[in-house]
Each structure stands twice: as structure tokens, then as C-alpha cells.
Amino acid sequence: MDFQPIADHFGITGKIVHTEEIHSGNINRTYLVAVQEADSQKEYVFQKINTFVFKKPEEVMDNILKVTEHIKKKLIETHGCYHRRVLSFLVGDDGKPYYYTAGNKHFWRVYEYINHAVAYDQVIKPELFYEAGRSFGEFQDWLSDFPAQSLAEIIPSFHNTPVRYETFRRSMEKDAAGRRAGVEEEIRFLLDREAECGVLVEKLKSGEIPYRVTHNDTKINNILFDNQTDKAICVIDLDTVMPGTALYDFGDAVRYGASTALEDERDLSKVSLDLTLYEQFAKGFLESMGDSMTAAEIALLPQGVKIMTLELATRFLADYLDGDVYFKTRSDDHNLVRARTQIQLARDIEAKWEQLQKITARCCEK
């Protein structure tokens, strides 16, 4: 593939000497591009935005640029530089942070590659999850004074759990794949908890908790760690930054990272919430956010974990009832297995509720 027109558009001088596709990530096509500039070599990341998933890539990039520029200013104020701490996107000769190829209707973006860093797909030691919490908390703190509702809503109602439940109910009633008869127990479990799953949306609307810039995909693999120190240095994959509550980000990070099993574990006896990992993440998150997190938000942290777990369970089970039209599957019951795993995790969260509240309170102690 010829990357030269893209490089020219973004003012990258020098000769392209190496290109390599990066296969991590499931949505955008990503390439590492090395350029020889005078006596040094510089590396960039070229990404082709998936316009099937992101219908308005201009809004995606507008959100990202607003957020990253805000973080850069904060880093310069506090540390004097932003090197390796935030993604740095290039702006083209037309003043836009993307390159549109009219012929094939592709949108490209380019950002500086962060050297000597690694991303982890799983939490391999508790210290990493503390660092993940610290990094996502820092991300929230840097943006605590940013007008969140000035951002475009990239995926409407993405974490609006009542809307997710409405979708689930439609799938349940339609039963397009004829599978409902075998999952009545799972359906009942989720419907019994529908009312409490609207808590975060209700409190956002009432103003009891503030709208914040949310990342909305807070898996540990969306943080870069220094490959020598294992310190978290940069939050990546900012495609879904938009208005929401910090409890979405906290809840989804813990749901994924503190689970003792993969999302498609068939043996439900292996599925639980690791309280040590919960505490590590909560400690890092709250330390970084400092006084910018309200008492109302802190009290709802365990609720955020439970709601995000139940929300994903409804999505998996709805897709199973629909005939597996959204999530990629490896077997006919893959989405059902995923839904049951999340339901079991929710059961364990409920069983450990008092412990989660005590741990959260302990993490707030100065």
C-alpha cells in the first residue's frame, strides 16, 4: 500500500523506510510507519477509521483532538511537557486531523508512535491494575474541567442501560432465532434487576452526579505501560470519548479486569470478582482523581461495576436471541455462554456487596 500521499498530507518529510500492520484492536486498520528524516528515524501510527462502526469520523476526530489538546495543556502546566503521556495527532495541510480519500472514501489519521511501551491484554499482576486505575483516574482528573457535553455523542445511548434493556426486551419478545425457551432463567435474572440499572442515568439527569468526559472502553489493553518500569503512561483508543459518568469507566474496567475468568468461560465456578484487584484499581483511580470526584460518585462505584456487568449481559443475551447478528461468535451458544458468565459475575458482586462498600470507603481514607 502507498502511504506517501497520506504522509505528504500531514507534512511528514523524509523517506518511508518501513511499514508494518499492527493487528491488535478489532475495529480500525492500523499500521506502524517508519520514516527516515535527516539523521534520525521517526515512527508514526497510520490508522484507517472504520466508517461502518463510526458513521461520522469527522466528529470522532473532533472529539479526540479537543480532549488530547486539553490534556496536553494540563501536562505542560504541571510537568512542562507531554512527551509519551498523551496521543499526539497530526493535523493536515487543510487544518483537519484526518485525510479523506475521495476515490475510495477512506478516512485516515496519523499520530506519533510512543516508543518503549507495551499494552497488556490481561491483568497479570495486581500492581498493573493499580497502575491502570491510576491512569484512568488521571485521565478523568485532567478532563474534570472540560465541558463534557460539548462533545459529540459518537454512539448514541452507548451506556444508557435503560435503553439497553428496552433493546433486550424487544429481542426477547421477537425471539427471532427461536431460542427463548431455553433461557427463561437468565431472562428472569436480568429483568428482576432492571429497575436498579437505571440509577446512573437517573442521577445524571437529575444532576446528582456530574457529566464527565468518559472513555467508554476502559479495558487494560487501552493503556500503554513503560516496558522497563511497568508504570502506566498513556490512555489510548479514544474513538468513543463522549459525555457520560466516570462510573461507566470505573465499572467497565473492574468488570473486565477484576474478573477471575474470561468473558466466555463455560465453567461458572471459575467466575468471580477478585476483591484484591478491585481494591487495587479503586485505590489508583481515587488517588488520581483526588478531590475532583464527588461523594455521590464515590458511593456509587460498586453500583457502577454491577450495572456495567448487567448491561453487557443483556447485550450478549439479546444478540443470542436475535441469532448472533452483532458480536462475533465461535459457536452457536457463544453469546449465551458470555451472557451466563456476566450473570454469574453479577451474582458474585451481589454476594460481596458489603465488602465492596467497605473497600471503597477504605480507599478514600487519606
For residue 233, name the pLDDT band (cuts at 50, 70, 90): very high
Q: What is the pLDDT of residue 37?
A: 83
Helix locations, the chain, DSSP H: 4-9, 57-79, 126-142, 161-174, 184-192, 199-206, 246-257, 275-289, 295-299, 301-322, 334-351, 353-364
Domain boundaries along the sequence of the chain: 4-115, 126-364
36-55, pLDDT tens digit by residue? 988 889 999 999 998 888 99
Q: What is the mean pLDDT of residues 190-217?
A: 96
SS3 label, residue 58: helix
Higher per-residue pLDDT: 189 or 54: 189
* Matching residue, cell 454476594: 351
pLDDT bucket at 366, cuts 50 / 70 / 90 = low
Residue 306 has pLDDT above 90, yes or no: yes
Grid cell in block for residue 225: 505501560
227 grid coordinates: 516496558
| Least confident interval from 112-126, 181-195, 270-284 | 112-126
Residue with cell 461502518: 52
For the domain covering 4-115, report its CATH number: 3.30.200.20
Residue 161 has pLDDT above 70, yes or no: yes
> 118-152 burial, b for 16+ CB within 10 Å, e for fewer?
ebbeebeeeebbbbbbbbbbbbbbbbbebebeebe
pLDDT at position 10: 94
**pLDDT of amino acid 26:** 67
In this prediction, residue 186 carries a pLDDT of: 98
pLDDT tens-digit readout, 113-160: 999 999 998 898 999 999 999 999 999 999 999 999 999 999 999 999
* pLDDT given for residue 328 in this prediction: 86
Collapsing DSSP to helix, strand or coil, 133 comes out as helix
> What's the rounded mean pLDDT across residues 197-215?
96
If you average pLDDT over every residue of the chain, what do you get?
94
pLDDT (0 to 100) of residue 119: 93
Beta-carbon count within 10 A of 185 CB: 9
How far apart CA 171 and CA 355 sit, in angstroms, is: 35
pLDDT digits over 244-271, tens only?
Answer: 999 999 999 999 999 999 999 999 999 9
Kindly report, residue by residue over 54-94, the tens digit of the pLDDT.
999 999 999 999 999 999 999 999 989 999 999 999 999 89
φ/ψ (deg, to 5) at 48: -95, 115
Is the pLDDT confidence value at 357 over 90? yes
The C-alpha atoms of residue 193 and residue 230 are separated, in whole angstroms, by 39
Say whether 224 sits in a helix, a strand or coil.
Answer: strand
Distance CA 141, CA 286 (A): 10
CATH architecture label of 126-364? Alpha-Beta Complex (3.90)
Q: Tell me what pLDDT residue 53 has.
A: 84
CB atoms within 10 A of CB 197: 21
Look at residue 25 and tell me whether its pLDDT is greater than 80. no
pLDDT for 104 beyond 80 = no
Q: In CATH terms, are 4-115 and 126-364 the same topology?
A: no
State residue 350's pLDDT score.
98
336: CB partners within 8 A, 6+ apart? 179, 183, 186, 316, 317, 320
